[in-house]
C-alpha cells in the first residue's frame, strides 16, 4: 500500500468531511497518510516549544499550525505514518479515556508486530522504545480530539523518519525523553508502505 503524502490542511479538511458524514449516520473511517514537513501545536501547547526561529523554519519549508488536538508540539513529515481514526464513541459506548487507551494499545501491538520492544510510561502519552544505551524515546506520538463524541486527529509513528527534524521543537513539550524511529531500532526495518 502506498501511503499518500497529503498537506496538513488538506488532511484536516478530509477528516472534517468524514466527521460530518459520520455525524449524519455515515460510516466510521480512518485516514492513513504522511504529511510534508509541518509542526503542529495542540490547543493548549506552549508555542515556546518551537525552538527554531521563523527564519530557520522558512528555510526548511516547515509551517507551524495550531490544532484542536490535545498535546504539545510535534513534527510530521517524511518517514512517518499518520493515522487519523474518525470514530463515533457513542456508537462504541466508549469514553475519551478508554479510546486513548485503546488507541495506544493498537499502536503498541502494531509496532511490536515488527519486532520493536515498545512500551508506555505512566503519566506520559505515547509509545516508547529504548535504543541501545539511550534514554526512553518516543516512537509514536498521540494527540486526539473528541467533539460531540466523534474522534479527530490520532497518532504518528516514526517508521524511517530523519530525527534531525525534531531539533526544531521540544517534542511533546518533554526534554526528558528522546525521539526515535523504527529504522533505528530494527536490523531489518519496515518501509513506510
Q: Alpha-carbon distance 82 to 32, whole Å? A: 6
Residues 6+ apart with CB under 8 A from 19: 86, 147, 150, 152
Question: Cβ-count burial of 63 within 10 angstroms (0-12 exposed, 13-18 middle, 19+ buried)?
Answer: middle
Angle at CA of residue 94, ends 24 and 42, nearest 5°: 80
Rounded distance, CA 39 to CA 134, Å?
Answer: 25
> Which helix (H) or strand (E) is 8 found in, with range?
helix 8-23
Contacts of 129 (CB under 8 A, 6+ apart): 111, 116, 117, 118, 119, 136, 137, 139, 180, 185
Nearest to 35 by CA among 82, 90, 73, 72: 82
Q: Which of 107, 168, 172, 192 is an active site residue?
A: 172
Residue 160 annotated in active site? no
Catalytic residues: 172
Amino acid at each position: 500500500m502506498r501511503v499518500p503524502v497529503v498537506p496538513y490542511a488538506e488532511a484536516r479538511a478530509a477528516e472534517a468531511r468524514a466527521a460530518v458524514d459520520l455525524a449524519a449516520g455515515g460510516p466510521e473511517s480512518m485516514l492513513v497518510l504522511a504529511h510534508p514537513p509541518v509542526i503542529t501545536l495542540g490547543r493548549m501547547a506552549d508555542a515556546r516549544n518551537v525552538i527554531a526561529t521563523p527564519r530557520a523554519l522558512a528555510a526548511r519549508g516547515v509551517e507551524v499550525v495550531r490544532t484542536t488536538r490535545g498535546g504539545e508540539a510535534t513534527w510530521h513529515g517524511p518517514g512517518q505514518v499518520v493515522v487519523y481514526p474518525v470514530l463515533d464513541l457513542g456508537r462504541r459506548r466508549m469514553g475519551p479515556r478508554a479510546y486513548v487507551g485503546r488507541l495506544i494499545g493498537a499502536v503498541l501491538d502494531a509496532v511490536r508486530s515488527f519486532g520493536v520492544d515498545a512500551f508506555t510510561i505512566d503519566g506520559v502519552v505515547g509509545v516508547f522504545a529504548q535504543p541501545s544505551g539511550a534514554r526512553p524515546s518516543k516512537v509514536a506520538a498521540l494527540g486526539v480530539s473528541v467533539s460531540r463524541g466523534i474522534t479527530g486527529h490520532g497518532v504518528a509513528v516514526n517508521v524511517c523518519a530523519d530525527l534531525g527534524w525534531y531539533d526544531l521543537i521540544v517534542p511533546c513539550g518533554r526534554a526528558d525523553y528522546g525521539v526515535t524511529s523504527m529504522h533505528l531500532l530494527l536490523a531489518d526495518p519496515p518501509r513506510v508502505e
